[in-house]
Every structure is written in structure tokens, then in C-alpha cells.
Amino acid sequence: MKCVICSSQDISDKTIDEEIKLGNDVVIVSINTLVCESCGERYYNKQTMKILEDIEEKLQKHVVKLDVVGSVLKLGNQLSNIQTA
């Protein structure tokens, strides 16, 4: 198999973290898929896509338990009040 982006033949099966957006949150799903070692292009087969679609549907229905692993914080509009050294 040759990468459609960079033409490398260095493609291997890897466990990667796919991100699914859920409102303002991001859910990380670890899955196995083919990945180009040169440019990082991912290749999902039909079975993997079905798994991701099923997970996304269950997330939208709130029928899966999620573990909180961190948080993302956003600096508000007070940026103009912060002085830099």
C-alpha cells in the first residue's frame, strides 16, 4: 500500500487516539488503524468507521460512561488587561 498523501510505503497498523467532539468537549477514543509513518495520514476501513459512528451515536445519547482525564481552560476577555514583561 502506498500513502495517497506522501507516496510513502511505510504504513503500519497502530493504536491511535481519535477525537470526537461532543458539544464543547472532546472525547478521546483509542482505535487500531493503518497510519503512514512518514506523514501521519490515517486509513480507516469500514469496520473501524462503523465503530466510530456507533460510539459517536452513543455519546450523543449519553449512554456511555466517560472518564474525566483533564480539562481545557480558556482565557476570557481580560487579555488586554494583562501586562507583559
Residue 73's CATH number: 3.10.20
For 47-59, the pLDDT digits (tens) are 999 999 999 999 9
Residue 16 bridge partners (DSSP)? 31
Query: Does position 80 have pLDDT exceeding 70, yes or no?
Result: no
What is the predicted pLDDT for the residue at 60?
92
65 vs 79 pLDDT, higher one: 65
| pTM, two decimal places | 0.73
Classify residue 3: in a domain, yes or no: no
- Parallel, antiparallel or unpaired: strands 11-22 and 42-43: unpaired
What is the predicted pLDDT for the residue at 53?
95
Could you list the residue range(s) of the whole structural domain that residue 18 is in? 11-81
With contact defined as beta carbons under 8 Å apart, do 27 and 61 qualify? Answer: no
Total structural domains within the chain: 1
For 13-62, the pLDDT digits (tens) are 999 999 999 888 899 999 999 999 999 999 999 999 999 999 999 999 99
Classify residue 2: in a domain, yes or no: no
